[in-house]
């Protein structure tokens, strides 16, 4: 028989605090019509400090002045040591129900079960105030508030990582962040210490290829994949296990900015991704992703088709293990308070629920330590799980007590086990009562600081990735390597990195070397590479266009009204760019920049120089350009050939939508290359 445990209201399973309620309570703290001090005393004046006469010194006895300034002085908390720049949203995850064969985790296994989540997207290297569109890995961290406790899937938009063992993480980050003497560059890998490290530490090669690909510069968080990176071990109701990799597949497809576009955007709108996420949710144009899993047998050597599943620098090509969709995520609510929610959310790889277990991937094992530890200094003590954004929606009865910022008034005198003074409770839950049981796997071996032999292959999957990309993406990668290495001061680092590239692909190395004005070294690239077409972004597919932005150069008159109305029904955001502001005008010639738009329609004649620049950039970035009325004169002023691919004369909404669905006018790209190239 289960003992009856008298539990305070906040611990009562029947009264578990849904996030909605807990947030409402927090908001409720600010009540009443009158301004008060932190102690609730009404205040008559918050603009003038208490002084000895109007010209006199301020008085120490001014409790309001001191309290107001003291609180302000402590408003900031330390930014995350990595992933400091980010933004997030709430969403709903709905399970398709087909994962029950591999996991007993209710939120994945039960068809139609809805689970609230919070997702925080981030860049890795920059400070909190850095630009969104820099070339970097993007974090994709999801907290599922499941009925069985919180599950955190703390992933990235790239499926592999720079290092194979967590003990290297401080080295990686010290090399990748700014130089410690001058704290430059901000949010960039284009500098000596990064390339010094990765050229010496060749297990980073595969990941560097992803970072230098278009994945490093996503169009928005809506258009990027997410990956759990590590292999996880799932357990079903019969205690059968499978090795699994998690994938988030964006419904809108994977799309990137152009490299020049990212640089312009960083100045024009450093909040580009953050703004798109928040504005889209406000407009009801929700971001959507499917959660998918690759399922591999849990065999004793933890390999699949010769790929070591414990090596986080390796993928399993989707052609070998298809990604099976198991649920859908819709991000549908903006946070109310950035600090309380987005900044204070604390993810942890160890937040797992029954049905999901970890593997011995040495990178994952180290992460199991780091995430809890970092919150102690970032959030000021061990009680961060009580913050509304971190509180589980499942009942909590943990016997943890006291500590900094304790906000629960615990009752009772026996927060220990075993006890007889609290009716013996709370009682441990066996598996039959939903208790978390680690998969009993044998552990054997000598204590060594060593890697499995298979971890020594640093190049074959970098080559696999490169050869899976479309030629345009490959060109982008050549440009990225050339740009970044050009930014190094030390020639020796460039030379060394070229010798790393030579072990991946001779053609790529030759092109990068030519760009750097250096000889191409010879290497030993893999002889036979089987590409994985699923890795290419540029394909024949057409993607949903909800959330895409079209700029209409003209006045908000009837000329483009029909076009605008039809596009809006498809979720396209249309902004009129007029010579001056006014009713229906969202941008003027002075304020609009090309990077804000996925396509442009020119519906008036103008030789305004800012419009000229806008169109030249849109053309160069291979965006569709529609022309109406005497708009051709505007294109002529910008030197744009109206017969070029993707210049659409009098486009109807369908034509424009089709162009947007391709993301860019890829056929124009060859025309954009300098003649000598
Ligand atoms: Fe990490 C934050 C993703 C390796 C240590 N990491 C952090 C965030 C993401 C990732 C998305 C931001 C979470 C948020 O939005 O709050 N990290 C990854 C991935 C990795 C990875 C996908 C490899 C597969 N990380 C990694 C290692 C270590 C850390 C090997 C340490 C040994 N990561 C941290 C951290 C952070 C963090 C220091 C900083 C802030 C935080 O955790 O809460 O603990």
* pTM passes above 0.80: yes
| Closest listed residue to residue 137, CA positions, set 148, 121, 153 | 121
From the centroid of its chain, how far is CA 453? Answer: 32
Contact between residue 173 and residue 197 where contact means Cβ atoms under 8 Å apart? no
Q: b/e map of 464-482 (b: 16 or more CB within 10 Å)?
A: bbbbbbbebbbebbbbbbb
Residue where the block lists tokens 């703290």: 29
Q: Which of 10, 64, 83, 273 is catalytic?
A: 83
d(CA 84, CA 128): 5
**For residue 2, is pLDDT > 60?**
no
Which atom number of ligand 1 is nearest to the Cα of residue 373? 44
**Does position 5 have pLDDT exceeding 50, yes or no?**
no
The answer to the question of whether 80 is labelled as a binding residue is yes
Structural domains of the chain, with CATH:
86-386 (2.40.180.10), 459-535 (1.20.1370.20), 549-672 (3.40.50.880)
Kindly state the helix (H) or strand (E) to which residue 472 belongs, with its residue range.
Answer: helix 471-486
Question: Is residue 55 marked as binding?
Answer: no
The Å distance, Cα 156 to ligand 1 centre, comes to: 9
Nearest Cα neighbor of 136 from 230, 225, 208 is: 208
C-alpha of residue 89 to centroid of ligand 1, in Å: 19
Q: Which residues line ligand 1 (CB under 6 A)?
A: 80-83, 86, 120, 122, 139, 141, 154-156, 161, 166, 169, 229, 312, 345-347, 363, 366-367, 370-371, 374
Measure 62 CA to ligand 1 centroid, in angstroms: 44
Residue 96 labeled ligand binder: no
Q: Which residue among 156, 334, 351, 390 is the active-site one?
A: 156
Pocket test for ligand 1, best of 78, 82, 165, 176 (most atoms within 8 A of CB): 82
How far, in Å, from the CA of 371 to the mean position of ligand 1?
7
Q: Which of 367, 375, 378, 390 to mutate to test the pocket of ligand 1 (most atoms within 8 A of CB)?
A: 367
Supply the residue whose CA is at minimum distance from atom 26 of ligand 1.
Answer: 367
Tens digits of residue pLDDT in 627-646: 998 999 999 999 999 999 99
What 395-399 contacts at long range (C-beta under 8 Å, 24+ apart), as own/partner pairs, is 395/11, 395/12, 395/13, 395/16, 396/11, 396/16, 397/5, 397/7, 397/11, 397/425, 397/426, 399/426
Quick one: tokens of 517?
């004005």
List all residues 6 or more positions away from 129 whose beta carbon is below 8 Å from its beta carbon.
85, 270
Q: pLDDT per residue over 456-500, tens digit each?
A: 999 999 999 999 999 999 999 999 999 999 999 999 999 999 999
Atom of ligand 1 nearest to the CA of 160: 24
- ipTM above threshold 0.85: yes
- Catalytic-residue membership of 273: no
Residue 10 a catalytic site member: no
Per-residue confidence (pLDDT) for residue 62, from 0 to 100 = 97
| pLDDT band per the 50, 70, 90 thresholds, residue 557 | confident
pLDDT 10s digits, 63-88: 999 999 999 999 999 999 999 999 99
């Amino acid at each position: 028989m289960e003992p009856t445990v008298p539990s305070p209201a906040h611990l009562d399973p029947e009264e578990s605090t849904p996030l909605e309620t807990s947030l409402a309570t927090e908001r409720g703290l600010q009540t009443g019509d009158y301004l008060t001090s932190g102690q609730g005393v009404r205040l008559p004046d918050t603009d003038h400090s208490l002084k000895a006469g109007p010209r006199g010194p301020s008085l120490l006895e001014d409790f309001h002045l001191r309290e107001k300034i003291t609180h302000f002085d402590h408003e900031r908390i330390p930014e995350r040591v990595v992933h400091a720049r980010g933004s997030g949203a709430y969403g709903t995850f709905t399970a398709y129900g087909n994962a029950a064969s591999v996991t007993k985790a209710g939120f994945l296994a039960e068809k139609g079960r809805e689970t609230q989540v919070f997702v925080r997207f981030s860049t890795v290297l920059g400070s909190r105030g850095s630009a969104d569109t820099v070339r970097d890995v993007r974090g994709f961290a999801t907290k599922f508030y499941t009925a069985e406790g919180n599950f955190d899937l703390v992933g990235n938009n790239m499926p592999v990582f720079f290092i194979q063992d967590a003990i290297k993480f401080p080295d990686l980050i010290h090399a990748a962040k700014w130089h410690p003497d001058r704290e430059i560059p901000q949010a960039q890998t284009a500098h000596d210490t990064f390339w010094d490290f990765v050229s010496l530490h060749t297990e980073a090669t595969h990941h560097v290829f992803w970072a230098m690909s278009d994945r490093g510069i996503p169009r928005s968080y809506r258009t990027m994949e997410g990956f759990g990176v590590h292999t996880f071990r799932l357990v079903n109701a019969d205690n059968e296990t499978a090795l699994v990799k998690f994938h988030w597949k964006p419904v809108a497809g994977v799309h990137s900015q152009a490299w020049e576009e990212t640089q312009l955007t960083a100045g024009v709108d450093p909040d580009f991704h953050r703004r798109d996420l928040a504005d889209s949710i406000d407009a009801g144009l929700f971001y959507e992703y499917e959660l998918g899993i690759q399922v591999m047998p849990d065999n004793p050597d933890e390999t699949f088709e010769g790929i070591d599943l414990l090596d986080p620098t390796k993928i399993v090509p989707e052609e070998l293990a298809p990604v099976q969709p198991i649920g859908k995520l819709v991000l549908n609510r903006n946070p109310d308070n950035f600090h309380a929610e987005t900044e204070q959310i604390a993810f942890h790889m160890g937040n797992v629920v029954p049905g999901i277990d970890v593997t011995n991937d040495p990178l994952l094992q180290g992460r199991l330590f780091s995430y809890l530890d970092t919150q102690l200094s970032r959030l000021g003590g061990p009680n961060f799980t009580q913050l509304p954004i971190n509180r589980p929606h499942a009942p909590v009865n943990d016997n943890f007590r006291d500590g900094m910022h304790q906000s629960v008034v615990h009752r009772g005198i026996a927060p220990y086990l075993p006890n007889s003074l609290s009716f013996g409770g709370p009682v441990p839950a066996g598996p039959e009562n939903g208790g978390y049981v680690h998969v009993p796997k044998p552990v054997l071996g000598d204590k060594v600081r060593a890697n499995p032999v298979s971890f020594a292959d640093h190049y074959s999957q970098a080559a696999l990735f490169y050869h899976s990309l479309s030629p345009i993406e490959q060109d982008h990668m050549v440009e990225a390597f050339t740009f970044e290495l050009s930014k190094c001061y030390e020639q020796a680092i460039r030379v060394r990195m070229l010798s790393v590239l030579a072990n991946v692909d001779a053609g790529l190395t030759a092109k990068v070397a030519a760009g750097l004005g250096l000889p191409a070294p010879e290497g030993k690239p893999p002889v036979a590479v089987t590409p994985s077409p699923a890795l290419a972004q540029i394909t024949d597919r057409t993607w949903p266009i909800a959330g895409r932005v079209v700029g209409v150069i003209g006045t908000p008159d009837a000329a483009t009204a029909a076009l605008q109305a039809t596009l809006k029904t498809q979720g396209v955001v249309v902004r009129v760019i007029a010579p001056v502001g006014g009713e229906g005008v969202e941008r003027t010639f002075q304020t609009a920049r090309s990077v804000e738009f996925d396509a442009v329609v020119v519906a008036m004649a103008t030789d305004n120089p800012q419009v000229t620049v806008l169109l030249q950039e849109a053309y160069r970035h291979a965006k569709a350009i529609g022309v109406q009325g005497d708009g051709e004169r505007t294109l002529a002023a910008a030197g744009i050939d109206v017969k070029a691919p993707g210049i659409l004369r009098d486009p109807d909404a369908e034509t424009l939508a089709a162009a947007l669905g391709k993301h860019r006018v890829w056929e124009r790209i060859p025309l954009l290359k300098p003649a000598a190239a």
